[in-house]
Chain A
């Protein structure tokens, strides 16, 4: 067991930073796949937050945080699969993954 000398704040800041980076990537990159990458980063940041709070929380033996994180990983995987399948299908139709060119949702 490693001794924890880093305060919770550190983990939280890292998680926040990672979340912001992932969000920035999702919001600014043209390629749809890069958006999904950003989303994965955000999910991972959230997982880090969960685990950090589980570790530093009052009842780590309840395993709540860990369970949450594991389920999050599972869901993220499923979602990544479906999302990437969608991107591939879109690429087949529009022959591009450039999000700037996809504005058929415009009303």
Chain B
């Protein structure tokens, strides 16, 4: 495995770990951002440049900011008094461990059968554009509708309720 991969993998995993383990919620959000970045670089490593840049733009540029905004709006920066972990955190950890065990085991079992390295594909934006409006036009349109609905929905949900006027 290449050296770059190790670095990036470590970065991502550490970021992810930090994101779930830190007490300060804002720190968690920032660690999340680091994890996103690591993932973006991993995409780049996998010759999926468009995905990588999209990851940076969307995730780091929007989602992470959104998370920080939400934290700030919900006073999440304050340290909670009961601890940050649930009372039954062990059960959750166990379940996650079980999930990891299953997936990991599946991966390791099938390791010999996985395909080996192949030459890098040439993917340019024009191809992606053509695929979007060609083969994948339906999902595109649907995602557009979805985004619109989500935007409207988020606004409505997060909107302050109207003041009830006097009778």
Contact between chain A and chain B defined by CB under 8 Å: yes
Minimum C-beta distance from B30 to chain A (A): 11
Digitize A65-85: 1 where CB-to-B-CB distance is under 8 Å, 0 elsewhere.
Answer: 111011101111111111011
Given contacts A78-B150, A81-B66, contact A34 B20 (CB under 8 A): yes
Report how far A54 CA is from B121 CA in the complex, Å: 10
Please determine whether A33 and B25 come into contact, CB atoms closer than 8 angstroms: yes
Prevailing SS type, chain B contact patch: helix
Digitize A41-55: 1 where CB-to-B-CB distance is under 8 Å, 0 elsewhere.
Answer: 100100110011011
In the complex, which of the residues A19, A61, A69, A97 contacts B121, with contact meaning CB atoms closer than 8 Å?
A61
Please determine whether A37 and B51 come into contact, CB atoms closer than 8 angstroms: no
Digitize B83-101: 1 where CB-to-A-CB distance is under 8 Å, 0 elsewhere.
Answer: 1111101011101110110
Minimum C-beta distance from A106 to chain B (A): 15
In the complex, which of the residues B45, B66, B128 contacts A84, with contact meaning CB atoms closer than 8 Å?
B66
Report how far A74 CA is from B46 CA in the complex, Å: 20
Please determine whether A7 and B116 come into contact, CB atoms closer than 8 angstroms: yes
Given contacts A5-B2, A78-B150, contact A17 B13 (CB under 8 A): yes
Please determine whether B92 and A78 come into contact, CB atoms closer than 8 angstroms: no
Digitize B42-70: 1 where CB-to-A-CB distance is under 8 Å, 0 elsewhere.
Answer: 11011110110011001100110011011
Report how far A33 CA is from B74 CA in the complex, Å: 9
Please determine whether A97 and B76 come into contact, CB atoms closer than 8 angstroms: yes
Please determine whether B157 and A82 come into contact, CB atoms closer than 8 angstroms: yes
Closest 5 CB pairs of A and B: A25-B20, A27-B92, A20-B100, A78-B150, A24-B96
Question: Could you write out 7 A-B pairs with CB less than 8 Å apart?
Answer: A16-B100, A22-B16, A24-B93, A31-B25, A38-B20, A40-B67, A85-B158
Q: Which residues of A contact B (CB under 8 A)?
A: 1-14, 16-25, 27-31, 33-34, 36-38, 40-41, 44, 47-48, 51-52, 54-58, 60-61, 63, 65-67, 69-71, 73-82, 84-89, 91, 97-100
